[in-house]
Structure 1
Amino acid sequence: MRVIAGSAKRLQLKTLDGLDTRPTTDRIKETLFNMISPYLYDCRFLDLFAGSGGIGIEALSRGAGEAVFVEQNPKAMACIKENLKKTKLEERAVTMATDVMTALRRMEGSGTFDYIFMDPPYNKLLEKQVLEYLAESKLIDEDSVIIVEASKSTDFSYVESFGFSVLKKKEYKTNLHLFLALEGSERVC
């Protein structure tokens, strides 16, 4: 896994051995960032279920002003910190070694995020729990975009009932990215 573009372009990132994390492939990451890179400069980016930190690091490399990495696995968090140091992006990064719901509650009152990316373990409904929380949270506003990486079989039929609208859905071979914003938002990805 590598950084695709920006200040840390071509640097290889460390990943965890085994199946504890599923790093987003370079091809899928490149597709994702081709869609959002025009809006990244100086944005506030939240990487939930961050794994080795590849998504948040890519955002920082491409000009995000700040990225917050939330990961409860201590080995994965050590990997994130090592990758941030290697890419020289640690000054604009905040790491939170805790579960996602605790992190979200702790961040309340700290301002809104422009982008929230989450790649939770598949088929455990964790994305639904996070979206339900965010629907009532001050961490997002009408300019925020939430991006969920999930398996193709994930049911998102509930998102409208939480007050979200689907901006875009991008399907890949086995998974997808769903782009969400608060209902009524005129935000593009």
Structure 2
Amino acid sequence: MRVISGTARRLQLKTIDGLDTRPTTDRIKETLFNMIHNEIADCRFLDLYSGSGGIGIEALSRGAEEAVFVEKNPRAVQCIKENLAFTKLQDKARVMTDEVVTAIRKLDGEKPFDIIFLDPPYHMLEEKRVLEALHTTTLVDAHTLIIVEASLDTGFDYVGSMGFEIKKEKNYKTNKHVFIILKEEA
């Protein structure tokens, strides 16, 4: 896994061994960042279920002002910290060793994030739990873009009842990115 573009371009990132994380492939990461490239500069980025930190580090490398990484696995947290030091992006990063909903509660009260990315374990309804937690916080406003990486068969028909709407969806061979925003007030 490598950083695709920006100040840390071409640098190889570490990942942890085993099946505890599922790093987003370089091809999917490149497609994702091509879709959101206009929103990255100077943005405040929240990377939930960070794994090795590849998505948040890519955002920082491409000009994000700040990234907050949330990961509960201590081995993965160490990997994130090493990758941040290696890419020299640690000054723009904050790493939280917490369960995601706990971290959201801790962050509540801070200013909104511009982009929130989450890549939870598949088929466990974690994305629904996270969206439920986010929708009542200060972390999301009318300008926040929430991106969920999920399996192709994951449904999001419930988001409307939480005050969100699906802006777009990008399907790949085995997974998808769902782009979610707050519903506009009528």
Task: Normalising by structure 2, report the TM-score.
Answer: 0.98
2:126 alignment partner AA? L
CA distance in 1, matches of 2:136, 2:109: 13
Task: Supply the AA of the counterpart residue of 2:166.
Answer: V
Q: What amino acid does structure 2 have at the position aligned with 1:84?
A: L
Q: Give the Cα–Cα distance (whole angstroms) in 1 for the partners of residues 137 and 84 of structure 2.
A: 28
Shift of 1:137: 1.3
The aligned residue for residue 146 of structure 2 is: 146
Cα-to-partner distance string for 1:23-46 (whole Å, 9 max, x where unaligned): 000000000000111111110000
Kindly provide the amino acid, as one letter, of the partner of residue 176 in structure 1. Answer: K
Q: Which residue of 2 aligns with 1:76?
A: 76
1:13 alignment counterpart: 13
Number of the residue aligned with 2:43: 43
Amino acid at match of 2:79: C
Q: 1:136 deviation in Å?
A: 1.4
CA distance in structure 2 between the aligned counterparts of 1:168 and 1:89, rounded to whole angstroms: 30
Code of the residue aligned with 1:74 in structure 2: it is P
> What percentage of aligned pairs have identical amino acids?
63
TM-score normalised by structure 1 residue count: 0.97
Question: 1:88-135: CA deviations, max 9, x gaps?
Answer: 000000000010011000001111100000000001101000101111
What residue is the counterpart of 1:88 in the other structure?
88
For structure 2, the residue ranges without an aligned partner over 5 or more in a row are: none
Match in the other structure for 1:173: 173
Mapped pair 1:22 → 2:22 = yes
Structure 1's consecutive aligned runs of 4 or more residues displaced over 3 angstroms after TM superposition are: none
Q: Give the secondary structure class of the aligned counterpart of 1:181.
A: strand
Structure 1: gaps spanning 5 or more residues: none
For residues 117 and 91 of structure 1, the distance between their equivalents in structure 2, rounded to whole angstroms, comes to 20
Q: How many pairs are equivalent?
A: 185
Distance in 1, matches of 2:162 and 2:118, equals 17
